[in-house]
Amino acid sequence: MADPIKNSDISPEKPLDVCARRIIIRYFHEMMSHKEGASDGSNIEFVHDMRVASRRLRAAMDNFAVCFEPEQFKKLYKQVKIITQTMGTVRDLDVLIRRFRTEMALMPIAEQKDIESLIEHLQEKRIVERKPMIDLFKSLDDSKFENDFLKFFEVV
């Protein structure tokens, strides 16, 4: 989890663009702090946390868009939106699998076999759907997205 913004970092006395930059960078760090865990895949909460953080980042970017040069801002915003969408596909499968496992535990043994087959199918689909997420992470690393994002929003 990223460090919280200190009260002294944002205040009514500071220019709006400075406060906006600090807020956006904070949410960006929050989002990226979950990337390694999401890549690993052993704990589904990393995917959830990264997706939530990406949505918060997009909300902050929406609120402060007027503070930034539109062309580069739109490129970075679009990339964050792609991250959110890619994470959403994997997260939806994680939620379904967890829900069916919970429901299965409450069912008679005779009905559990069908649910187990469904869970196996969803797990296979999850493996397939994680590939675009992993590819996206590699693409972000290769393109120096993190560096470009932080450079664009750095407080000057």
- Write the pLDDT tens digit of every residue in 95-147: 999 999 999 989 988 889 889 999 999 999 999 999 999 999 999 999 999 99
User: What is the average pLDDT value for the chain, to the nearest integer?
Assistant: 92
Please enumerate, as own/partner, the contacts of 15-24 that have beta carbons within 8 Å and a separation of 24 or more.
16/64, 16/67, 17/64, 17/67, 17/68, 18/155, 20/60, 20/63, 20/64, 20/67, 20/68, 21/67, 21/153, 21/154, 21/155, 22/155, 23/60, 23/64, 24/57, 24/60, 24/61, 24/64, 24/153
For the full predicted model, state whether its pTM sits above 0.75. yes
